[in-house]
Amino acid sequence: MLMNTTPSASPTPASAPTPLALADRIDRKVHAALASASASLSPVSLQLAWLDWYAHLAISPGRQGELLRLALEQTGRLSRYLAARWSAGACASCVTAPETDRRFADPAWRQWPFDVLQQSFLLTEEWWAQATRGLHGVSRHHEDVVAFAARQWLDVFSPGNFLSTNPVVLERTRDSGGSNLLLGARNAVDDSLRALGLAAPAPTGFAPGETVAITPGKVVLKNRLIELIQYAPSTGTVRPEPVLIVPAWIMKYYILDLSPHNSLIKYLVDQGYTVFCISWKNPGREDADLDMEDYVNLGVRAALDAVCAVIPKQQVHATGYCLGGTLLSIVAAAMARDNDKRLASLTLFAAQVDFSEPGELALFIDDAQVAWLEDQMAQTGYLTARQMAGAFQMLNSYDLLWSRMVGEYLMGERDTPNDLMAWNADATRMPARMHSQYLRRLFLNNDLSAGHYRVDDRPVALSRIRLPVFCVGTVTDHVAPWRSVYKVHNEMVTDIIFVLTSGGHNAGIVSEPGHPHRHFQMLERSADSAYLAPDDWLAQAPQHEGSWWPAWCAWLDARSGAKVKPPRLGAPARGYPVKGDAPGEYVKQS
């Protein structure tokens, strides 16, 4: 009998990666390296947008002709302005900047030849605004990206950004004998060394537990993801219903407990409320697999269980800020589905539940961009604040980037740190798996609004929520635009008070009584009222001067019982002993 002596191929070990998996691993590492050099912004996403716009413009001779006509018309306007300026010495502008544009507000920009520079620049912006909008066939997302990118590119060449073309900087240089430039050079060197990790961060004078986040309290729960702080009473009696605050995990909780004069938490405690607040852990590589379900269970549900153990037989006023409000809405919808009656009310600060129109942040969220971030997060296990900073800076590039660079590097000025600035510099991270799920399920797929979001593997519906709702939007919010926040009226069939307050995503919420120049509009809609469109609401809602905080407390008071003796801190007999003093340890993690 002949034996087959041909050597057989060795079986592939079970642990060996397949060629496809190996190729994918190589690609992810390459993408992560490229992302580090592109401020975590996907060049593919931008290229697709430009290709869509350019290809449609290339086959649109009518639009090309109109843009040529506009360019010639603008050239004529500028020429007539120059002629009038030369002959009369003063004349009306040929283009006017919007009232919100502060770049050329200083009277020095009306002097020759700087007036010509700013007029020419504004005309160029006007041309590009026409060129990038309304081109038939271009997708809305790509149109928004191209228009935004054009504005950003033009901003780089604004005459206000350069020493030789900025009259305000030139005046300062003349008056100071050039000392502003020496100070600016020192500022630039200091910032460069800090960016390279060769120098310690600049001291701010604010530290959690020392100068901020100093409202007295105790940590009564600590798990892998959160510490729960119960604040000590400051009044002889308190409302029986506690307040549970769920801040966003993209920020450290003490945005709501800054200095004593502008701490929302202290304000609530002083109004006679027992306040609990979640402090999220700043995740590291070991937390890469934490997902949205963990944030539901280890976060909001675990905190609510603790609150109800410390103060039993009382419903809870639940409050969520930004992403914390979105997460809280998910949990509230799951509780409504499961007939869980532990909540007394729902308050949402600058929180979205419908992501169909999330504002300019959507410019940085599409399939290409999310995949880019996922590949980068796969190498570290988390997304850092620095990786997010580029997008947020571009959303408000004048205030966050160019005006700061001009002020610090050309004018030689440094802003005096305040508590809000110190908090903003106190960076956080986000676990890779959770952040990917959040972007795909909520931003890209809008699962929560569509009724597809699942908790405990069962879908939840916001329309099941029957709690009274107090919802706050802010006028100049770049993160959660108020018209997007207003969509809560479409999702929840319940009594809703909507407040629109002056300020932005952070400063509009940190709006303590006595803060100058604050005002807000407020209007209530009952569950059976007809829908009111945002612009109609804006026209009808009465305006009030001052802070909205007292209005919120009055709303809570109307839904709370008579005051009682304050509860003890923690509940050792029910499994929630005091773990330590506020603000805890998680908030101090860097």
Choose, from 94, 277, 308, 322, the residue flagged as catalytic. 322
Say if residues 491 and 524 touch (Cβ distance below 8 Å): no
pLDDT at residue 23 greater than cutoff 90: no
pLDDT band of residue 7 (cuts 50, 70, 90) is very low
194 or 507: whose pLDDT is higher?
507
pLDDT, tens digit (0-9, with 9 covering 90-100), for 527-561 = 999 999 999 999 999 999 999 999 999 999 999 99
Residues of the chain with pLDDT > 70, as a percent, come to: 94
pLDDT for the residue numbered 1: 34
283 in any annotated domain: yes
Which has the minimum average pLDDT: 16-20, 140-144, 313-317, 496-500? 16-20
Tokens found for residue 260: 């004593």
Neighbouring-strand partners of residue 273: none
pLDDT band of residue 27 (cuts 50, 70, 90) is confident
Q: Where are the alpha helices (DSSP H) in 1-60?
A: 19-37, 43-58
pLDDT for the residue numbered 217: 98
- Region 145-168 average pLDDT: 93
* Number of independent structural domains in the chain: 1
Tell me the residue type at 486: Y
pLDDT at residue 452 greater than cutoff 70: yes
pLDDT at residue 96 greater than cutoff 90: no
pLDDT for the residue numbered 426: 87
224 in any annotated domain: yes
pLDDT for the residue numbered 89: 75
Which has the minimum average pLDDT: 76-90, 206-220, 307-321, 495-509? 76-90
Selection from 225, 240, 229 nearest residue 559 by Cα: 240
Q: Cα(284)–Cα(287) distance, rounded to whole angstroms?
A: 5
Say if residues 557 and 239 touch (Cβ distance below 8 Å): yes
551 in any annotated domain: yes
552 in any annotated domain: yes
Say if residues 233 and 242 touch (Cβ distance below 8 Å): no
What is the sign of the dihedral through the CA atoms of 296, 301, 306 and 311?
A: positive
pLDDT at residue 4 greater than cutoff 60: no
Return the ∠ at Cα 102 (arms to 96 and 106), rounded to 5°. 85
Catalytic residue check, 553? no
pLDDT for the residue numbered 394: 61
Compute the mean pLDDT over every residue in the chain, rounded to the nearest whole number: 91
Q: How many CB atoms lie within 10 A of CB 51?
A: 12
Rg (CA), the chain: 28
Q: How many CB atoms lie within 10 A of CB 58?
A: 9
pLDDT, tens digit (0-9, with 9 covering 90-100), for 327-365 = 999 999 999 999 999 999 999 999 999 999 888 788 888
- Region 394-417 average pLDDT: 80
- Region 219-236 average pLDDT: 98
pLDDT for the residue numbered 378: 86
230 in any annotated domain: yes
464 in any annotated domain: yes
**Checking DSSP bridges between strand 429-431 and strand 454-455, what pairing results, if any?**
unpaired
- Region 445-451 average pLDDT: 95
pLDDT for the residue numbered 338: 97
pTM for this model (two decimals): 0.90
pLDDT at residue 427 greater than cutoff 90: no
Q: Cα(415)–Cα(265) distance, rounded to whole angstroms?
A: 27
CATH number for the domain harbouring residue 496:
3.40.50.1820
- Region 11-22 average pLDDT: 59
User: Domain limits at 537?
Assistant: 217-356+446-584
pLDDT, tens digit (0-9, with 9 covering 90-100), for 298-318 = 999 999 999 999 999 999 999
pLDDT for the residue numbered 13: 47
pLDDT at residue 5 greater than cutoff 50: no
pLDDT, tens digit (0-9, with 9 covering 90-100), for 457-516 = 999 999 999 999 999 999 999 889 999 999 999 999 999 999 999 999 999 999 999 998
pLDDT, tens digit (0-9, with 9 covering 90-100), for 101-134 = 888 999 999 999 999 999 999 999 999 999 999 9
Task: Provide the phi-psi class of 553: left if phi over 0, else alpha when psi is between -120 and 50, else beta.
Answer: alpha
pLDDT for the residue numbered 3: 38
pLDDT band of residue 140 (cuts 50, 70, 90) is very high
89 or 57: whose pLDDT is higher?
57
pLDDT, tens digit (0-9, with 9 covering 90-100), for 159-175 = 999 999 999 999 999 99
Selection from 496, 445, 247 nearest residue 350 by Cα: 247
pLDDT, tens digit (0-9, with 9 covering 90-100), for 381-403 = 988 776 666 666 666 666 667 88
257 in any annotated domain: yes
pLDDT for the residue numbered 2: 36
383 in any annotated domain: no
